[in-house]
Structure 1
Amino acid sequence: MKKTLLIVDDKLKLCETLAQTFEQIGYQAFYALNGREALRMCATQQIHVVLLDMMLGEENGIDVLKQIVLLYQHLPVIMMTGYASVETAVQSLKLGACDYVKKPLDFEQLVNVVENAIHLSAFSTVPQERQYALTEDEFPCIVTQHPAMLAICQKAKKLAATDLPVLITGENGTGKEILADFIHLHSTRKAHKMLKINCAAFPETLLDNELFGHEKGAFTGATTAFKGVFEKADASSLFLDEIGDMSLAIQAKILRTLQNREIRRLGGHNTITVDVRFIAATNKDLKKLIQAEKFREDLLYRLNTAVLSIPPLRERQEDIPLLLDYFLRQHSHANAAQIKHVSDAVQEQLRAYHWPGNVRELKNVISYAAAVSAHPTIELEDLPPDFLDMPQRHAPENIREEMEKNLILSMLEKTSYNKKKTAELLNMGRKTLYRKLKKYGIAAPE
């Protein structure tokens, strides 16, 4: 398999020259002219190493480095600059870059640096002490460029270095389990596989048994002792999804486990010490459940020290183009098929939709459309029938229009009202953008 290289520089000619030169020696090379495109490529391609320029026009390469290191922990990044200084070199290395090269580039030296970075990452991607192996596809991939999501990832990475219990909240389909994976694989417990259990999938008695286990003879049919997930997850992390669906009795036992770091199996008399990092998730408002006497206030206080709230997809529309690319490439890889594209009409429909099922719903819609489309470009007729036939699931027209107008305005401000760049950031045709500017009465400030 060819090693893949991503070149990030605002100079198109340099990108093309480097890509061509690396391809001549057996690499597969991609390039991006800005940070947004670089993040999209990292999310949608299997990249082995990144060459990142320190200055990307008006963008600072250090800011792009921070985002890549945050979201793609195991991806080596080599910084390039024509403005080299000891300070910038040290800063980039402290922030996670693996090496540093000066412009003008010495290609022979650059190849050595790239090959060394790939060689070292092959050993660091899965630590030698890991007792289980992850394929590259199994590393949690948080596909985002939204400031709130990037801030959540930054906070999650800091929390991962502690042993605090973490509570992840968010609507169905927002990616709570992926964030839990992200925390575990940035923690000191990553050498052991994180165990997961969905609390809503079991009735109370079975959930008690799954969590805490039982002793031999604890009940009819218990012919052997059984370890629950708290014991099995010893020295690792335990992810409990939908904790708002647990009974008060189970909640009390979990609270005692968090406080005392010990459990007692069903039918047992002795306590068993456990060393577990606790990560929980819910799509419910736990404070309302407390008022309804369905959730323990003391358990919420125990979990409330570290809360990560994932915003719904409708509040981070700029992630939709990134997610589209990511899911289309996933579908292509899984089915050994050509990568499909999405028409402007489909993109407009997707941006206007309210997404009650969030990222999971977007993935299902795109997977269906990619499977049924007979052409390289997905059109409106390829979308699932129920997606097109359920206008009641969309946000009210005035809300959708206000969201779209605000998104266009924020992108215009980001590009200093450069319409070409704005259209690219929105993944929108320029004619479509001009039509919407006229519709919303948006004009460049004088």
Structure 2
Amino acid sequence: MNLLTDNVKKVYQKYLVAAFGSALIGCIYGLVDTAVVGQYHGPEGAATMAVIAPIWNILYSLGLFSGIGGAVLFSRVFGQTQNKNKANEYFSISLLLTIMFSIIIWGVLLIFEEHLFTLFGADEALMILAKRYLVPIKMIVPVFLMNKFLIAFLTNDSNPVLATKAVLMGGLFNVVGDYLFVFVFDMGISGAGLATAGGAILTLAILTTHFFSKKNTLRIVKISHLPRKLLAVLNTGFSTFFIDISMGIVTMLFNRQIMIHLGTNALSIYGIIVNIGTFVQCCGYGIGQAAQPLLSVNYGAKKIKRTIATLKLSLSTVTIISIGWAFVTLMFPTAFVYLFMAPTEAVLNIAPFIIRSYSLSFLLLPFNIFATYYFQSTEKPGISFAISVTRGLVLSGGLIILLPTLFNANTIWFAMPITELLVAIPVGIIIFKSFKQNDSIEYNDVENN
């Protein structure tokens, strides 16, 4: 499949299926874990998974930092030069970064586990459950980062299908393992952690088979001008990294504010929302990762018509996903409660308002996530960075702290809808201007390019 010459729509659709599969199935790890732990331990189990959620944000964000940062440049440089050796310098840098990140975060989790859970909002009861879950995860921390890194590069090395298969098989192992370990072997939350660790190992084993296939062009090569290229990878990948790491920060702030103002029942519902929100965010990742190779290669080759065509297809997908998720969560909030836990009457009384209020953000969340990929791929990392920081920390963090303090406790649930709206307005204006600058380009002109 040639990203520079083949039909734009067909290439995008193939990459979309593969990227969606990889992104969404990856989210199943946390989603299934929360569901089985909530069913086994009740609201306390769901609340514990909310406390654990920032750990996943840290692990995945670091894998994306090096993976997406290097993969975007890998494709862009190849589009500009048609030289795989030069492109592989960015693969080599990204691999080195992934190893470094793995060692650092591995040490942090081993030494400061209890301090982190306290920071993330755990009380004494939740701390006990959280530590049980993390035992097998701590043993294989580098595996989670390496999976994110390899998925990004396989997608850009013309093998998105293998990436999808790898995550699918790992996800299936996780689902089956959750049932067996948690319920059949009566291991509870410890079994959920074991199933997740096993699924991650299986995913990595399948991903590495790419290096023995004929499609593989990834090589470790000598790196020229290392400091400059290392900085370029960090600069390019930072926006994607900040999306995930800021979600962890936002989750931590939510956890602490909820425990102060609303209590454990509300935190258990937030544990549900974290997983739904992560799933919606993964949809944004899937769209962005599907478009990114096409955008990077064609923008690097100065094929603007194909770049704009990819953007239009991506925005159409974003619209469908956003409306779909908002509709489901607004119409059926109680169904999600029963899916993720064995609820008490107190939980059922407050859940519909909380889920409906927060889920208004799903109307704009996928668009804002995709926008960071678009600006990264078209050499506008400054705009991508501004979106990530403003959305991920400045606005959201400020609103989470201020709303329940200045008004009433339940206004905290509107922090994310307000954030997504305030970010989407300027982002939409910038993208609209890119259309205006190319208003003579019709999609039919590129259909057969």
What's the TM-score, normalizing by structure 2?
A: 0.24
Higher relative contact order (CA 8 A, sep 6+): 2
Higher strand residue share: 1
